[in-house]
A and B are shown apart, each in its own frame.
Chain A
Amino acid sequence: GAGVSQSPSNKVTEKGKDVELRCDPISGHTALYWYRQSLGQGLEFLIYFQGNSAPDKSGLPSDRFSAERTGGSVSTLTIQRTQQEDSAVYLCASSSDGGSGELFFGEGSRLTVL
């Protein structure tokens, strides 16, 4: 597709369950980012992948959160043993090397933990 694709668009889960969120970036974009957007809180950086470099995981809130990027393309964000405070919209963005620095965002995955 032409844009960043995220799935699922909505996910409702029970506290304690694991969830996986998927991001398919724009073809050719080497940088991929995950952000979390809670109500009234703006966007919170989670993790950043750039080419073959080690990812910047400095924003992951706890060891229950992990992310991987396979083949320099698709990324999966995994949240283990979900808690109610994990409820948020998880946004993925990608950007190209040497570009203007513009991040192209997907529409997000809305996670609700009951």
Chain B
Amino acid sequence: QKEVEQDPGPLSVPEGAIVSLNCTYSNSAFQYFMWYRQYSRKGPELLMYTYSSGNKEDGRFTAQVDKSSKYISLFIRDSQPSDSATYLCAMSAGPINAGGTSYGKLTFGQGTILTVHP
């Protein structure tokens, strides 16, 4: 079983829809949770970064972390065609550069392919 599970989709929604993307994980040591967005033939780029449990909002995007359930979510409101991409959840046990230890190792989900059609 993988440490991080993410439904690969694909997910297709109409413009303006609310999108919910989710990941579950098994490693209770994970404390830092991220969502990356990857456009076709490009490298992933950081979208949201949260620590421990709780919510974080940035514009149309909201990230939620529930450590008790080992479950994280990304919500996209008023989705746009430009949101069409692969969304990857990622997590780590500690800060990315904690004293040169292997905390720098991000564990990624498989990615969910999202298409928002006009």
Contact = CB atoms under 8 A, between A and B. Distances in A.
Interface in A47-101: 48, 50-51, 53, 56, 58-59, 91, 93, 95-101
Contacts of B102: 48, 56, 58
Majority secondary structure, A binding face? loop
Interface residues of B, number: 29
Interface stretch (B36-44, B57-65, B70-78): B36-44
B79 to A, nearest CB: 22
B17 interface: no
Contact of A31 (B41, B49, B96): B96
B97 A103 contact: no
B80 interface: no
A1 to B, nearest CB: 14
A40 B32 CA distance: 24
Interface string A13-36: 000000000000000001101010
Which has the most chain B C-beta neighbours within 10 Å: A43, A91, A95?
A43
Nearest to A51: B100
A30 to B, nearest CB: 7
B110 A41 contact: yes
Given A30-B97, A91-B43, A107-B42, A45 B106 contact: yes
A91 B45 CA distance: 12
Given A41-B110, A42-B111, A103 B105 contact: no
A107 B105 contact: no
Nearest to A41: B110
Interface of B: 4, 6, 8, 32, 34, 41-46, 49, 88, 90, 92, 95-97, 100-102, 104-111
Given A44-B108, A102-B96, A103-B44, 18 more contacts: A42-B88, A43-B88, A43-B90, A43-B108, A45-B107, A48-B105, A51-B100, A56-B104, A96-B97, A99-B97, A101-B49, A101-B95, A101-B97, A102-B46, A103-B106, A105-B43, A107-B41, A108-B41
